[in-house]
Amino acid sequence: MIERADAEPEYDDTAIRFLEALWGEGYLSPGGPEEVDRVVAGLSLAGKRILDIGCGAGGIALHLAEKHGAAHVTGFDVEAPVLTVARKRAEQRGLSDRVSFVQAPPGLLPFADASFDVVFSKDALLHVPDKQALFAEIFRVLKPGGVFAASNWMIGHDGEPSAEMQAYVAAEGLSFAMRSPAHYRKAMEAAGFRDITVVDRNPWYRDVARGELERLKGPLYAPVAAVVGADYVAGNIRTWEAMQKVLDSGEHRPTHLRGWKPDEGR
Ligand SMILES: C[S@@+](CC[C@H](N)C(=O)[O-])C[C@H]1O[C@@H](n2cnc3c(N)ncnc32)[C@H](O)[C@@H]1O
């Protein structure tokens, strides 16, 4: 395991506390376990070895072990604070033998070829600029016959982002490298994935985000401000307002992806 000395983590302790208050313990993306179940719907994960790329605070890795019966889940992330939280939760839940966490810098995945039956990811791949290199790596670490299943925040097109989209990404202040569903599909095809499916989740999140904004302005405001400060919550309310515009226009496109690594033996 390579531990990197993180200069400035994007998901620091304050961000983790804020996002967990909104999305649930261990979750740094929307939808909770129900949305994870939709990403893996129809897949049999029992007894499988799973890699969770961009695992964040670990709620999903624990869910895949506890509810879906994975033999082992490896949560991988580039930042230290999220993994500190994830490891603590795995210990508290008595799952440290079936769920482990690995930190390494962005780039090549620190795993041997054909290590995993399933590669999962939730709303993390948008941080990786080179999608072709990313999918070549995901393909490499999957066993033949293995499956990639993910949710990810995308942009609806590959042209110049609208002024609203640029304002939203600036408000997030995170290293977003958003690409279109078509761009992702091409990168997956180039890596060798087959039977690729792409599912638009914009209509779902458009409504959910509206509810999140209402809760942030209403019942969540005081308790979350008590934890992270009123300025931090106010800044995020502005971010959510900017996000709602590009969700409503369809330019912000949360999307599910799935694809299979062919099993040459069959
Ligand atoms: C929005 S959070 C989602 C975390 C988790 N998947 C969840 O849904 O709760 C994005 C995560 O991606 C991680 N990340 C950023 N760049 C990455 C990279 N190049 N490779 C892997 N993970 C990365 C961040 O550190 C963060 O934990």
pLDDT per position in the chain (266 positions), as tens?
333 344 589 999 999 999 999 999 999 999 999 999 999 999 999 999 999 999 999 999 999 999 999 999 999 999 999 999 999 999 999 999 999 999 999 999 999 999 999 999 999 999 999 999 999 999 999 999 999 999 999 999 999 999 999 999 999 999 999 999 999 999 999 999 999 999 999 999 999 999 999 999 999 999 999 999 999 999 999 999 999 999 999 999 999 999 999 997 65
Output the pLDDT for position 218: 97
Within 10 A of 78 (CB to CB), how many other CB atoms are there?
21
What pLDDT is attached to residue 8?
Answer: 86
Ligand 1 binding pocket includes 19 (Cβ within 6 Å): no
Backbone angles phi, psi at 155, to 5 degrees: -110, 145
The verdict on the CB of residue 126 being under 6 Å from ligand 1 is no
Reported as a single tens digit per residue, the pLDDT across 193-241 is 999 999 999 999 999 999 999 999 999 999 999 999 999 999 999 999 9
Closest CA to 53 of 130, 108, 132: 108
pTM above 0.85, yes or no: yes
- pLDDT confidence of residue 56: 98
**27 Cβ closer than 6 Å to some ligand 1 atom:** yes
Instruction: Work out which ligand 1 atom sits closest to the CA atom of 107.
Output: 19
Closest residue by Cα to atom 23, ligand 1, is: 54
Report the pLDDT value the prediction gives residue 65, as an integer from 0 to 100: 98
* Residue 253, both tokens: 């496109």
Distance 104 CA to ligand 1 centre (A): 12
Sorted by sequence, the CB contacts under 8 Å of residue 107 that are 6+ apart come out as none
- What integer pLDDT is reported at residue 3 of this predicted model? 39
Neighbours of 112 (CB within 10 A): 9
Residue 144 Cα to ligand 1 middle (Å): 25
- Ligand 1 within 6 A of 124 CB? yes
Residue type, 159: G
The pLDDT score that the predictor gives to residue 7 is: 59
